Amino acid sequence: MPITILSFLGRHAPAFLAASIFAALALPDLAHVMAPLLGPSVWGLLVIAIAIMDGITAVLLARPSHVLLAVALGFIANVGLQLATAVLFWKRGRPEALTLGFVSGNRNAGIILAVLPASVDPDIRLYFAMAQFPIYVLPALLRPLYRRLV
């Protein structure tokens, strides 16, 4: 089942992206529209997370330091992208630079994982799977810092 979910996401990624762009342009004030969708969104993220983590337990048991390295690289890449983007756009103003930095660091690596070919190196799959952790963890950890900076 997990491979089926990832295959579905990979095949339909352009449609998901187009729908997101359309929604952002057509509904500028999404707060009242999106509130009822928060619950189903969390369930959707849970299904995707389960699919992405398929097989990771076996790798973790066989090579724990390898998995921890992939997690560390995911955190480093996320924070690095946030910093680099914020610095790049700093002249546009602090709130905008920090927002762009946050978005660039927290891009959805799950989409990349979904479209990788079956022949890709297993370490690349492992990295993109582990890159999900900072996407879920860093927003909560960095919230006080972002509040102070904005």
DSSP 36-93: GGHHHHHHHHHHHHHHHTTTHHHHHHH-HHHHHHHHHHHHHHHHHHHHHHHHHTGGG-
Encode pLDDT of 3-19 as tens digits: 455 555 556 667 766 77
Which residue bears the tokens 């799950």? 110
Q: 29-84 pLDDT, tens per residue?
A: 666 666 666 667 677 777 777 777 778 888 989 999 999 999 999 999 999 999 99
**pTM for this prediction:** 0.69
Output the pLDDT for position 6: 52
- Reference 128, options 83, 60, 77; nearest CA is 77
pLDDT of residue 90: 94
Residue 120 has pLDDT above 70, yes or no: yes
Q: What is the pLDDT of residue 1?
A: 42
Question: How high is the pLDDT of residue 38?
Answer: 63
> What confidence tens digit (pLDDT) does each residue in 83-119 have?
999 999 999 999 999 989 988 888 777 778 777 888 8
